[in-house]
Amino acid sequence: MSSPYRSMPTTQSRAEVVNAFMRGVYGWMSLGLLVTAAVSMFVVTSPAIRQAVFGNQIIFFGLIIAELALVVGLSAAINRLSAGTASGLFMLYSALNGVTLSSIFMVYAQATIFKAFLVTGGMFGAMSLYGLMTKRDLTGLGSFMFMGLIGIIIASVVNIFTKSAAMDFIISCVGVLVFTGLTAYDTQKLKVMGDMAPADDATAVRRGTILGALTLYLDFVNLFLMMLRLFGGGSSRD
């Protein structure tokens, strides 16, 4: 992830700039999660919308493709976007993800979803705090976790055809390890970005916080889905 910054601030201390930057990252990430949750609940409680989305594979997979395009486009074009456009695209992605993620309410019991969310929140918070506080360089960990992520993707594709419950359990366990590790690594990387943030360029700072929010949002959601698969035992509703 390239940094959108080119200059160093001179009027504020490094600590103040980093703290403000990270508050922005966590603030936008939290807002994105709230939008996702609100949209998911709206879809679940609206039979007509639920039928329109999940009763038509073209619409459902179209939404998946749109989400992927938004993530790639936002990440690649962040330096060329206005602050408002970047923020709007992130909110749009969060809303679309809420639509597709509403499917978990059709698969898992609400108690299972709630427990998985609480555990995910605790693990994410602990690992993000570690990434902020540790003096250890986590670059090596990030590279290792990225290789693990590639392995998860390949194994998941293979398991679509093999439908192995044992493989699904292993993928979920490895996934939890990978996304907890990525949370710490990404947090440390964002802290470095914050340290380079130009305090006199509000647009650049907003771009950076949106990109950081998207990064941690993806870590959180993927960790949550892996935990949900473990808590749900790979089975359908209780």
Tens digit of each residue's pLDDT (9 = 90 or more) over 83-132: 999 999 999 999 999 999 999 998 899 999 999 999 999 999 999 999 99
**Residue 181 pLDDT exceeds 60:** yes
Q: Is residue 1 domain-resident?
A: no
Confidence of residue 178 (pLDDT cuts 50, 70, 90): very high
Q: Is residue 3 domain-resident?
A: no
Q: What is the domain range of residue 37?
A: 14-232
Q: Is residue 173 domain-resident?
A: yes
pTM for the full model?
Answer: 0.89
pLDDT tens-digit profile of 204-236? 889 999 999 999 999 999 999 999 999 986 544
Q: Is residue 122 domain-resident?
A: yes
Helices 57-77 and 47-54: crossing angle in degrees, nearest 10, is: 80
pLDDT tens-digit profile of 58-68? 999 999 999 99
Note the pLDDT of residue 5.
Answer: 52
Q: How far is CA 10 from CA 7, 23, 188, in A?
A: 9, 20, 22
Q: Is residue 9 domain-resident?
A: no
How confident is the prediction for the chain on average, in pLDDT? 89
Q: Is residue 68 domain-resident?
A: yes
Domain count, the chain: 1
Confidence of residue 45 (pLDDT cuts 50, 70, 90): very high
Q: Is residue 8 domain-resident?
A: no
pLDDT tens-digit profile of 79-91? 899 999 999 999 9
Note the pLDDT of residue 203.
Answer: 85
CA distance 224 to 230: 10
- CB within 8 A of 164, min separation 6: which ones? none
Q: Is residue 5 domain-resident?
A: no
